[in-house]
Amino acid sequence: MMGEGIAYAMRSGQFAAQTISKTIERGKSSADFLYNYQRLCSREFAESFDMAAKAGIRGGRLADSILPVATRLNVSREILSGLTRGDIDYTDIPYVLVTRLPRELLYLLRDSLIASTNGVNRR
């Protein structure tokens, strides 16, 4: 939905290429040997996908309520672009939030104070 699947697809493609290359090199094409592709993908993606699933199950309503505010935050854009590029995965999101959100909140407070002193309602 946000483009982050592209990075996973590219990494999965690398695993497929590695598995095919080893299959040709070693002349082994048994199901057990080819199962290596699935093991590589599971090792690489399972934790991140579990985190995404838990967030989706538990956080649907919460996400709906905070998305309008979150889209105005630089940290949100940073997370989305990091996911899309494959620089971070879902397991990295809590760390990114904890390290960057306090600074972001200071900017929001500053902007809110400036807006209130100028008589502007920023909702």
Determine, yes or no, domain membership for 61. Answer: yes
Give the domain extent around 42. Answer: 5-117
Does pLDDT of 107 surpass 80? no
CB < 8 Å & 24+ apart, contacts of 43-47: 44/11, 44/15, 45/8, 45/11, 45/12, 45/89, 47/89, 47/91
Determine, yes or no, domain membership for 49. Answer: yes
Burial class (CB in 10 A: 0-12, 13-18, 19+), 90: buried
Count CA within 13 A, CB hemisphere, residue 24: 5
Does pLDDT of 14 surpass 90? yes
Determine, yes or no, domain membership for 123. Answer: no
Reported as a single tens digit per residue, the pLDDT across 26-58 is 998 889 888 999 999 999 999 888 887 777 666
Determine, yes or no, domain membership for 81. Answer: yes
Residue 117 CA from chain centroid, whole number? 37
Reported as a single tens digit per residue, the pLDDT across 78-99 is 888 888 888 888 888 888 888 8
pTM of the model: 0.56
Determine, yes or no, domain membership for 83. Answer: yes
Structure tokens given for 110? 């500053």
Determine, yes or no, domain membership for 122. Answer: no
Q: How far apart are CA 89 and CA 118, in angstroms?
A: 40
Q: Which amino acid, 87? A: D
- Where are any strands of DSSP class E within the chain? none
What pLDDT band is residue 60 in, cutting at 50, 70 and 90? Answer: low
Determine, yes or no, domain membership for 88. Answer: yes
Determine, yes or no, domain membership for 90. Answer: yes
Number of domains in the chain: 1
